[in-house]
Amino acid sequence: MDAAVGSTTRWELYRVLAEPVRLRLLALAAEEELAIGELAVLLSESQPNISRHVAPLKAAGLVLARKQGTRALVRIAEAASADPVVADALASGRALCESDGSLSRIADVLRERDRVAREFFAQAPAKDAAVFEPADATAAYVAALARLLPNRRLAVDAGTGDGGLLDVLAPAFERVVAVDRSEAQLDRARARVAARGYENVKLLKSELGAAELREHVGEGADVVFASRLLHHAPRPVDLVKQLARLARPGAAIVVIDYERHDDESMRDEADLWLGFEPAELGGFAAAAGLEDIEVVRLPSAWCGRGRDAHLPWQVLIARCSSTSSKESSPSVGSRGSSVRRTLVKEGKGK
């Protein structure tokens, strides 16, 4: 049982759970980690009123709240439902949410998260955005180094965007499947592929879970990459699971994304999440059944010259099990403690 729940006297616990709004809030927080604003929409309450109801639940150890920039996200405390009183309250709250429809509307909240990113990336780029500078000698160096890789038959570039990662993947792998759900972004990637003369790249408009993509991947990729994609995902853990399903047993999953930061202006770039703690990334990988999980911080000098160059970048590297099914989804805590975190020092390699 959570320490806070255990230290709460019974009459205080009954008092906290005597309010129907709190019962519904608790049930929703048990279903999905939700922002205060999202809970306000689901419960048809004002945000200040939701915050007032969260406070006693948090004080009693029933929910956890974490900050993401100016947003507060609420989820149930994992051990809280072990208390029989709380378990009964959850059942009552869930029944209330089923009755008023708020439970089923969680899916609408997740779709709304996704809509922001879809509309942002569906915008046509500026007229000069598809003009690429002549490639330097980096591709030649990558091609030479790639011969040292034991498995380089197929790479998947999930959320390829303008295809920037293809300048590394195309020279290194025999075949690359680059997928994006935005036609506008794929147009930019096509311009890059044409300018570079990449004949081993297949560009595909598809969702990551689509059957068409699975057909192109076949038995699975040797490496699946997702560069700066995770912070756009409505549920990041689900995206990591989708990446894992595209890989063959023993293959690597590589996710490049931001560490936690407080730059709210990045929401103008359709960023749903202001980065992730290294332990969060490791938890996503563990929940996807991945092994040998390592999170590496990247030096700022390696992060390009884009609008996000000032943010702290990190990379998650993990492997699909060579023995267990990809569909296995252990709890975050079961492997999260085995995550290795490495700091790549400024100006130096590991």
Q: Is the pLDDT confidence value at 144 over 60?
A: yes
**Residues 30 and 82 sit within 8 Å (Cβ to Cβ):** no
Instruction: Provide the strand spans (E) within the chain.
Output: 34-35, 63-68, 71-76, 154-158, 175-180, 201-205, 221-227, 247-258, 290-298, 313-320, 340-343
**Residues 106 and 42 sit within 8 Å (Cβ to Cβ):** yes
In the chain the domains, ranked by start, together with CATH numbers, are 3-104 (1.10.10.10), 138-343 (3.40.50.150)
Over residues 51-69, the pLDDT tens digits come to: 999 999 999 999 999 999 9
Cα 25 to the center of its chain, rounded Å: 24
126 contacts: CB under 8 Å, gap ≥ 6: none
**Residues 274 and 329 sit within 8 Å (Cβ to Cβ):** no
Alpha-carbon distance values, 164 to 24, 143, 184, 190 (Å): 45, 16, 15, 11
**Residues 152 and 173 sit within 8 Å (Cβ to Cβ):** yes
The structure's pTM equals: 0.85
**Residues 167 and 178 sit within 8 Å (Cβ to Cβ):** no
User: Quick count: other Cβ atoms within 10 Å of Cβ 51?
Assistant: 16
199: helix, strand or coil: coil
pLDDT band at residue 156, thresholds of 50, 70 and 90? very high
Tell me how far apart the alpha carbons of residues 328 and 288 are, in angstroms, rounded to a whole number.
7
247 contacts: CB under 8 Å, gap ≥ 6: 156, 220, 221, 222, 223, 224, 253, 320, 326
Over residues 243-289, the pLDDT tens digits come to: 999 999 999 999 999 999 999 999 999 999 999 999 999 999 999 99
Mean pLDDT of 213-225: 96
216: helix, strand or coil: helix
